[in-house]
């Protein structure tokens, strides 16, 4: 091979190498560019996800605040969810159970009501027995309203048990024996309330008649514990 041919071959080799280098450089640039683009795309996607997550939590937080605000407003104007304290209403409502109180409920005989105890800062749940204008008397475990016997069906098992033990579930009493009352009939705007667990209940026999202004509402339902959910 002549010197001239060798030189030509070398030039061709250089040109090929130069082309290969340029091609490799372009490919590398493309790869770098594609990698950079993918990274930027992922970054934008993450930012969008983070932004949407923050917005979602903001909406959840705002919703919770609105619900709490509405609950506070409604619980002071429409309903109450008090917890029963003591065993005066057992087994109808036991100690620690929570009930739903309708602040606009109509008070009727044998309703459960939630009220402020006279001359006390306490609140209580008891059953309405006597209404305004009525004469109330208990004799030998029988309730008489205006000299007519009225059956307390919600106490039938307790009354049978007391009879078997030759005892009284409700001690005999008449209205004039109630504290702060001298009348034979319940005055206007007053109610006689008793607990279902009569031998152990603190009620009108101990603190007198309940004024209608002190009645917070009627007990409509036991809501807690859930497995004992019950309407009254």
DSSP 86: S
Q: Please state the CATH superfamily assignment of the domain spanning residues 80-231 in this structure.
A: Umud Fragment, subunit A (2.10.109.10)
Contacts of residue 99, Cβ cutoff 8 Å, sequence gap at least 6: 81, 82, 84, 93, 112, 114, 125, 219, 220, 221, 222, 223
Domain definitions of the chain by residue range: 1-77, 80-231
Judged against a pLDDT cut of 60, whether residue 4 lies above it is answered with no
- pTM score, whole prediction: 0.72
Residues 162-184: pLDDT tens digits? 999 999 999 999 999 999 999 99
Q: Using alpha carbons only, give the angle 121, 116, 81 rounded to the nearest 5 degrees.
A: 105
């Amino acid at each position: 091979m002549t010197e001239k041919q060798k030189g030509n071959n070398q030039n061709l080799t250089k040109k090929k190498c130069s082309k290969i280098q340029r091609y490799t450089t372009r490919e590398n640039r493309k790869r770098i560019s594609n990698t950079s683009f993918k990274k930027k795309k992922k970054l934008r996607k993450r930012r969008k996800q983070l932004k949407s997550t923050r917005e979602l939590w903001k909406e959840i937080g705002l919703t919770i605040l609105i619900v709490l605000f509405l609950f506070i407003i409604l619980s002071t104007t429409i309903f109450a969810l008090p917890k029963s304290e003591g065993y005066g209403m057992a087994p109808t409502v036991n100690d620690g159970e929570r009930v739903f109180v309708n602040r606009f409920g109509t008070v009727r005989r044998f309703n459960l009501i939630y009220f402020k105890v006279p001359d006390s800062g306490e609140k209580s749940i008891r059953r309405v027995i006597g209404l305004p204008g009525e004469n109330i008397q208990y004799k030998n475990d029988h309730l008489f309203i205006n000299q007519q016997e009225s059956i307390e069906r919600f106490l039938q098992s307790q009354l049978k048990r007391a009879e078997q033990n030759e005892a009284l579930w409700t001690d005999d009493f008449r209205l004039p024996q109630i504290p702060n009352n001298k009348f034979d009939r319940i005055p206007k705007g007053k109610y006689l309330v008793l607990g279902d667990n009569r031998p152990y209940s603190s009620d009108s026999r101990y603190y007198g008649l309940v004024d209608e202004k002190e009645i917070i509402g009627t007990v409509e339902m036991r809501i807690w514990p859930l497995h004992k959910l019950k309407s009254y």
